[in-house]
Each structure stands twice: as C-alpha cells, then as structure tokens.
Chains A and B, each alone.
Chain A
Amino acid sequence: MVQVTVDPLTRIEGHYRVNTEVNGEGVITDAQSNGLQLRGFERLLQHQDPRDAALLAQRICGVCPICHSISAANALDQLFGVAGQVPKNALVMRNIEQGLNYIASHAAHIYVLWGPDLANPAYRDILAKYGDVGNAVWKELSGRFAPLIYQLNGTSYPAGSSYVGAIAEFRRLHEAIALIAGKMPHQVLQHVGGVVYSPTVADIGQIVGYVSKTMEFVEAFTLGVSPDTWVANTYKASSPQKAANFVLNHLKELLNKSLTSKDFSHSAGWGDVPLFAAFGSELIGEKLLGLPISMKMDLAGAYKDPNKIGFLSYGVFFKPEKGDGYDPTSPADSRVIPSGYMNGNFKLEKFDYKKISESTHHAFYIDNVEDRPPWNGITVPEEDPGKIDYTKGSASRYSWSKAPNYNGIPCEVGPLARMIIMGEPLVTGLVKTFQDNGYYPVNNYTRMVARMQEILVLYSELMKWLTQDLEAGGKVAVHTELSMAKSSAGMGLWEAPRGALGHWIATGPDSMVTLYQAVVPSTWNLAPRNSQDIPSPVEQALIGTKISAAGNALGVDYSNPLGILHTARSYDPCLACAVHTIDKTGKHPDYTIKIL
C-alpha cells in the first residue's frame, strides 16, 4: 500500500488537500478530502444590518461572487417579506448577470484550472505510442492548454492558445457584467427587493454584443461549429439519442478527414470540445470511433455504489413567464434549470429543502449532535493546534468542511447534476450511452462534458432573456425599510456554477442579523465522510480510480497522480466557500431559523 497525497491541490479556488491509499495495481483504495483553511465567513454578518449581506456575502468567493450575492438577495427578499413582489425585470436581471458569470466561471475552470492537466507530459508519452496521429494530438493539447507557468526539463512552454484566448473571453464577460453591475468581481447589482440598476437599450445591445463576440471564440476554439448549430442539434434536439448521435457523427466526420491529413488543429474543425470528446473517452474514442488510444477519462472519477450517492439541484434562473415575484422554496416548475433530487439509479424526485442536513462527525468542529439542518447550525471549531491534524486517516476528523447530506445521502452538485435533472438531451444521451455500454455513467468525462454543454445551454437562454424578456428602463426594485426585517427569517436557494447553494438568515427584534448560514457546493462535493462514515462524492469518485494517466496505460506512476488531479479538479473545487461558519462562544446554541 502506497500513500499518495496531493497538497496543495493548486489551480482551484482556495486551499485543498487529497490523501489516498493506493494498492500495488495502482488503484486508489481509500481517500480523504481535506479543506485546509478556516474562514468563518458568515459570522462577520452576525449582529449587523441584514441588507449588507447581498454585498458582503459574495466575498466568500471571488470566482463566483454573483451566486452568493443572489442567494443572499433571495434570502433577504423573504426576510423582508417581498419575495412575492420582486419585479420581473429584476428577476431577469438576476438571470442575466448570473448567466454571464456561469459562462465565465465555466470557461475559467475548463481552460485555466482544469485544462492544463491535458498538457501533462504523461499524455505526450501515451500519445507518442500512436505515431504521427498521436504526436499531432499532443501538439494540439500542449499548444492549447499549457498554463502560464509551465516548464519541462528546463524548457518553458508558452501559454496555450485556448488558455490565453479563454482569459480574454473571461475578461470580456466580466466587462459585460460590470456594465450593469459596477465592477467584477464583487459586483454591486443585487439588493433586497430587486436590483439597483435598470438597464438602458444601449446596455442591452452592448451585452448582446459582448456575448456574440464570446460566441465567436466558442465557435473558433471551443466547438469548431457555430454555437447555434450546436444548440439546435443538442440542447434543442428532440431526443437524447439524437443529441448524442449528432456529436458522434460529427466526430466521425472529423476523424475521417484528419486520420489521413494528421491535422487536428482548430482550423481543421477540431474545437477543444471535439478534441476532448474523441480522445478523452475510452468508450467514445476507442470503442465507438475506433481510435487505438485515448485518455480514458471515463474510467476515472465514477461512483460504484448507487445507494451511497445522489444528485441534487436547488433550481436556478427564474422563469420570466411567471411574472413578478417568486416562491423561495424553489419548486421545480418555477426555475429554468429545475430543482430536483436524483438518486444513484437516476430516479428523479421532487426537491424538499427540509431533507438537507450537515454532519460535523469528521470535521474539525465539536458538536454532540450528529446531523443538523443548516438553519439550526452550531459549530464550535477545534481550538487546540495539536488536534488539527490531516494525517490520521478516514476514521479521524480531517477537514474544515462539514458534510452535507440529502436524506442522509451525500450528493454530487454542479453542472452534471443540473443537466441530468433538467433532462438536457446531450448530457442525458451521453449518460445513457455509457450506461448501455456497461460503463459507470457519471465519471470525469461526463462531468466535464456537462460543464461544457451548460455554457451552450446558458448562451441560448441568455439571448432570450436579453432580447425578449428584459425591458429597458423597467422597474427593478420594490421599496424596503429596515424595520420590515424585524424578527424574521429567509432562505435563498440558488445554484452556483459549481452547484447547489443556499443562504439562510434570521433577524431579531432590532432587525439585526442573529444567524447567517451558507451551505455551498464545494461542501457537498468535497466534504469529508458523513456521520454514517459514507465517503463524500469526491472520495467515492477517487476510490477505485487508477492513480496514473489513462488507467495506468504506461504503468503505475505514483509521482504523477493524474487520477487524483483529474478527479478532484473535475468538481471545480472552491474551498473558500466550503470552509464553514463557527460559533466559538456557543452563545447561540439553539437558534432555529423558522422558514415559512
């Protein structure tokens, strides 16, 4: 048994460690997911004016501040009793701002954080076995995805073309956000009862221009086909099978040309998604398309026991058709990407927020209650430096992240969960294809394809919100007074780019905050074990995964643990979010936020 530890896992947001036990065959047999930083963020909102939360809470995360700001604003809408009256135009503005940030955040993950691992030298060596074609593909991978700081044996690689291009688009989308929200990150648009800015016709036109410009990059670099063609044949396809077939047929056509020309460049039609889609998967690339080699991402990061995992979405993006106001409990039919819970066998159930609880059993907090709902949280952190030890294994306390559960089951949250709960045709079709061919359907490959596909889903919806639903100069807020928040409570359910996000707030007779809680996506995905010792989603995904590149295709190399790197990064870790609130004094042991 060999212990392989990645500490710190870089190219994420925050500070994170993964520890694994690996057997002689190079298969991970045990794993712990360690959040390394205590931040105690929510506590600085306590005793304060609740309205500040819409601007302060976003400072939990600089990559996805908008979702925190909107979650907080949603919670404030309920706290102030105005959720039913928030003007439709404000809800559309929330959608637009969030949609722009989803695309930017996904692009940052795919290209800047996750993509560089495709330029790992292990793939150079694996692809070299496939001669000229393999070498041509490696040239593309390293030429597109090399990060800003990268050298091999003393030779610096220039930053990749897709990597650098994506940063420019990220910047462009943040400009689009700043146009209506002041600046980015840490925008200022969201406010209790609506938003603070009513857009002009010129603003709307300018944002459409920004999005269209970004779609030029998506066409030239990401997809290799026009986004509209892609959307029409996947997101808007009449069945999952048709959507999956569109992509498979497209890959076949590309391969027919390039296997002889040995040209896998962007200009030959090989967008980053097709390149990854063909060469990233054993099933798609080798079995269905007949390639002799692949990166076998579909063999890593899978869940083996369907009884220990679920998929969760709180629902996100208000349906403009519903008009003014919204229901804070997030019923599935009120959000564009619906709320829902899907069990490990992909059976869909209605989402019920009352089934959420958090365990501190394996976290550095002291609590005699095993599982608490987030609106009844007390958390006392370990104060003894000697007891903050990440090396004591799976039975110990080993993270600053708590372990959230839905009905006692750890859940994956994020693009893949959203897309399968939504029934998005391409992702659903791919999941089914893997299932039908005897593969675990949720794996690093499908997780990444879902994130890529969500960009296109959002593009399609964004254009509708901008051109059909948003009214220039329309009313964007209802008037509120601080006194409306007297002895009240609110819940803001939303989805961060990385997954389910909830903010809970309560106030006292003076309208000041008595309790603030945020349960964030990386807490779901990257938790430690729960009170029943069930490993978290990332831990389950790591256990059974091979430690080295492409299913140990070059043999077992413990010192280049791509199995860990791909799997952990595939969740788009955001650890600044995941480190939780604490109550040292225990002054508020039994605060209960009474919701509704």
Chain B
Amino acid sequence: MQNGGSGTDNEGLLEKFKNLDFMKMDRRTFIKAVGALGASLFLQTYKSDIAKALQLSETKVVWFHGVMDSGCTISMLDGGSPDIVEFLQVYNLKLLYHEVLMMQQGIFVDGKPANTNDLNSEILLDEILEKEKGYVLVSEGAVANGPQGSGKYLMLGGRPYKEIYAKAAKNALAIVAIGNCATNSGVNAAKSDIVELMDPRGIAFTMEDSSKGILDLLGVEKPVINLTGCPTHPDWVFLTIGAVVLGKIKVPDDLPYVLDHWKRPKVFFPPDHVIHDNCSRRGYYDRGEFELTVGGPKCLWKLGCKGPYTHADCATRHWNGHLNYCPQAGSPCIGCVQSGFPDSTRPFFVEIEKTGIVGTNINTIAGVAIGGALLAAGAHAVRRTVMKRPEDEGEVAEETTSEETGGEK
C-alpha cells in the first residue's frame, strides 16, 4: 500500500531511484537514498524527471500570505537545489501572485482600483479570483477568523483575507499549505488568554483539531497537502509541488497513500522515523552521555530535545544548503514540524516525560520513559527499544499508535 519502492539494497541504487516514484517511497528506501547518495545528489537523481516537466504545459501557481511572519517565503529563498528561480523554470510554473516577489501593489484612487494589472495587485487578484481555475494554491500563514467570525483581524485591499481565501480556494486544483501557520495555525493558535478571540485557523487543521480548519468553516472541499515546519524546508515544498506537476502524485487519487494522518508526505515526515534515529549525537545517547548545560557535544535529551518524538528527515536532509540541523548545532530539537507545535512540544528545555504536556499521547510518554529507564541497563537494551519500528519488525510497535505518529489507521 504505502510502499511504492522496493526494499533491496545493493547495486544500481542510483538507476533504481531514477525510476522510483519518490513520493511513494517507503521510509527505509528513502533514508537509504539520502544516506547512500547524499542529499543534494539525491535531488539530482530526479533531474531526468524534472527535464520531462519542460514538455509539460504550464502550471499556474497562486501564492498567498495570511497571518505569518514570512519565514517560509524566506526559507524558499534559501532553497538551493533547485533555487526558487530554477524551481519555477524547471517545472514550468507560472507564479501569478506572490506579495513578496511581485512588482504590483494595491493602488486605489478615490477608493477605486487604478492603473492596470501590470502595477496594481488588486486588479490582478480580482482577475485571478474571477477567471483562473486549476492552479496550485500555495498557502503560507493562517487565516484570521476573529473577531466574531468577521476575519477582520487581517484585511487586505479593504476586505477580510478570509473572503479572498475562500474565493481562491474554490477554484484551486489543490492546496499546498506550507509551514505550521498554514498547516495548523502554528504559533498563532498557541495557548494564550486571547487565542479564542483571535481565532486564527490553519487550512485543514487548527493545531491538532481537524474539525477547525478554515476550509471546513468555509464549506470548501479541496485536496490539501501539508508541509509543516517553522519554517518548512524548501526541498519539501519544491519537491512536493514538482511531484504534483510531474504527475508523480496524482491529486487526489494518490493522496491517501502518500500522505500521513496530518496530510503530510510520508517521504519527508516518515510516520515510523524520528529525527533521533539519525541524529549526529546518537552515539552519546547510546552510551548514556548527556549534556546538562548547553554548549557541549553530547546528547541533548536531558535538555529537553524533542528529536525522539519528531517525525521529519532533518537529520538526514539538513537545512540551508544541506549543512546543519538544530541538535547538531547544539540545540534541543523543539519539534517545530509537529502538528501541535508549539504547545505539544513546550517547554522546550524540559524532558518531555516531565512536562505533562497537554495533547501528548500518554502511550508515547510511557514508551519514552521506558527508554529512559533502560538507559541504566546499557545501550543494547535501549537500542532494542528505541529502534523497534514497524518496518523493522514487520509489526506495529505497541508503544506507538497511528494517532501520534501520523501513520495510517
């Protein structure tokens, strides 16, 4: 079902991967691909697929910014293989609207839209909303629903962003939500005295609640692909949109197979793989050597690292030119790709089993507590517990459930 790729290891890996549908690859094949080839070479193996895209017809992309800090757009500018300009070119994408990268702005003279769509983004936007269909809607940022369902906590061109978003979503082919503000409302929906008043919504989820996405509220049904992270990784975005454009993922038919419970591509957010599995500090963990103050080389578990609970390929893919990732740089992982981030992963500097974090599955805590207790018994026992994964054993490990790992039910 979920496994499009075959599992044999040896010769001709590169050739094999060329023919694979990478979005459907299982975790083990994927990790092997990255491990064997290195992250940037891994991307290059799809060059032949990418070349085909040039023969494809143009795909239109509309890119919206809601309630956010533009960090995901910045992360896209930090993408290197391909970079954002190459990305648009090689996949033959026509970026119709992107507030940070466009010449236009909203211009009104005595309240009426002035000039043409060459310089006026509001005229351009109205044309898109009225005429365009079948575009990919890239959604960055949450949708403000407050106060009182008016959406007026974010206005653009004199209208609530919520109204603009509703129109744009209706005519989209698919929605790619990038970054936790869009996928789960992220920091905007974090617990606070005012969050109910603000009422910021993610696209398909608000925090971990699938009944509170803005699409449900608007009564719009569209296929959604979530790429979480605060920010999200440019590879995740470019490769996912690329896979859709190339027909490597057929929308919506393939989505139930390639996405997890949180609507994220399993290839990047493997349900059965956590950052801890490939952490560069893993050797210290196996020897039971932990840091108690920041600044040293050892395992960051006791400083609150959420790597053992966080489902993403950060430790193999790395960030910013595939250079580094948080625990390697000395910081505990704060679980910024988790759907409940930041509430499900804070306090950041307290071991998760000591936090009593709301929304953390009790089974997970138990499983990890067992892992912690076993440390005294030595690395071998620890490894057996922690490394016990469904794929390795051909069964579902008891301490994990599909709910918190995002696996299939």
**A residues in contact (CB < 8 Å) with B:** 2-11, 13-15, 17, 36-41, 43-44, 46-49, 51-52, 55-56, 59-63, 65, 108, 112-113, 116, 119-121, 146-153, 159, 164, 167-168, 170-171, 174-175, 177-186, 188-189, 191, 194-198, 381-385, 388, 390-391, 475-477, 479, 558-561, 565, 576, 582-585, 587
Contact = CB atoms under 8 A, between A and B. Distances in A.
Nearest to B159: A7
A568 B91 CA distance: 35
Given A8-B105, A44-B190, A181-B329, A558 B147 contact: no
28 contacts: A2-B110, A3-B109, A5-B107, A6-B106, A6-B108, A7-B157, A8-B156, A11-B101, A11-B102, A15-B154, A17-B155, A43-B193, A61-B69, A146-B103, A175-B323, A178-B324, A182-B319, A182-B326, A186-B336, A188-B326, A191-B331, A197-B329, A197-B330, A198-B295, A385-B150, A388-B155, A576-B69, A585-B193
Contacts of B325: 182-183
Nearest to B331: A188
Contacts of B347: 48-49, 51-52
Contacts of A108: 74, 77
B71 A62 contact: yes
A56 B100 contact: no
The majority secondary structure among interface residues of chain B is: loop
A559 B115 contact: yes
Given A179-B324, A185-B71, A10 B104 contact: yes
B105 A10 contact: yes
B230 A59 contact: yes
B118 A196 contact: no
Contacts of B119: 120-121, 559-560
A75 B109 CA distance: 45
A11 B100 contact: yes
B57 interface: no
A479 B294 CA distance: 8
B340 interface: no
Interface of B: 65, 67-75, 77-80, 83-85, 88, 95-111, 114-115, 118-122, 144, 147-148, 150, 152-158, 161, 187-188, 190-195, 197-198, 230-231, 292-295, 319-321, 323-331, 334, 336, 342, 346-350
Contacts of B198: 38-40
Contacts of A150: 102-103
Contacts of B77: 108, 112, 167, 170-171
B323 A8 contact: no
A48 B231 CA distance: 22
A372 B104 CA distance: 38
Contact of A184 (B73, B79, B101, B319): B319
A15 B156 contact: yes
Contact of A384 (B147, B193, B321): B147
B148 A383 contact: yes
Nearest to B149: A385
A584 to B, nearest CB: 5
Contacts of A197: 295, 329-331
A177 B153 CA distance: 34
A393 B67 CA distance: 25
Contact of B293 (A8, A37, A477): A477
B109 A576 contact: no
Contacts of B79: 171
A136 B323 CA distance: 42
B69 A183 contact: no
B333 to A, nearest CB: 9
B111 to A, nearest CB: 7
Contacts of B323: 175, 178-179
A3 B111 contact: yes
Contacts of A47: 191
